[in-house]
Structure 1
Amino acid sequence: MTDRTAIFDTVAAQIEPFDKKGVEITDATTFQGNLEWDSLTVMDFVAAIEDEFDIIITMNMQAEIETVGQLVDAVAKLKG
């Protein structure tokens, strides 16, 4: 299992409690479009991801992250 796969699995597990629609999570899943998250849900989720990986995701980074795959890549970069 690669680091990216492990990060993806952890991110997917963190999404689960917020996934009210039962959306299948892939790299292409979007937070606003597919999951229909509002800004409060996004903030709660980002806090959970930051705690899980012991990283800080800046507001600028958050603005650029639209898909699960982009988030996984950002986490991998921040952890690296």
Structure 2
Amino acid sequence: MIDRQQVLTTVTAQIEPFNKKGVAIAEATTFQGDLEWDSLTVMDFVAAVEDEFDIVITMNMQAEIETVGQLVDAVGKLRI
């Protein structure tokens, strides 16, 4: 079973190709505010995370996820 730190490390690595502003990634980093992602970037990133972890993140879940830490927690719940 993958632990939370491994999920965080993998998610951080998944963010890098989309991190055009070079923002330092932390659990409190927000996708819209800090990274300034538009909806297309979010969709591409979500697809990459879904492929990496073999999960499906619903639109309702996406609407509730604002930070890297929240995404890590969601991935953990979906992998159970």
Normalising by the smaller structure, the TM-score range is over 0.9
Amino acid in structure 2 at the alignment position of 1:31: F
Q: Size of the alignment, in residue pairs?
A: 79
Q: For 1:3-30, what per-residue CA distance to the aligned partner results, in whole angstroms no more than 9, with x for missing partners?
A: 0000000000000000001101111000
- TM-score, normalised relative to structure 1: 0.97
TM-score norm. by structure 2 comes to: 0.97
Structure 1 residue aligned with 2:12? 12
Q: Quick one: distance in 2 between partners of 1:5 and 1:23?
A: 20
Structure 2 unaligned regions, length at least 5:
none
Q: Measure how far apart 1:64 and its partner are.
A: 0.1
The answer for unaligned runs of 5 or more in structure 1 is none
Q: What fraction of aligned residue pairs are identical, expressed as a percent?
A: 78
Structure 1 stretches of at least 4 aligned residues deviating more than 3 Å after TM superposition: none
Q: Using the TM superposition, give the Cα deviation of residue 40 of structure 1 relative to its aligned residue in structure 2, in angstroms.
A: 0.1
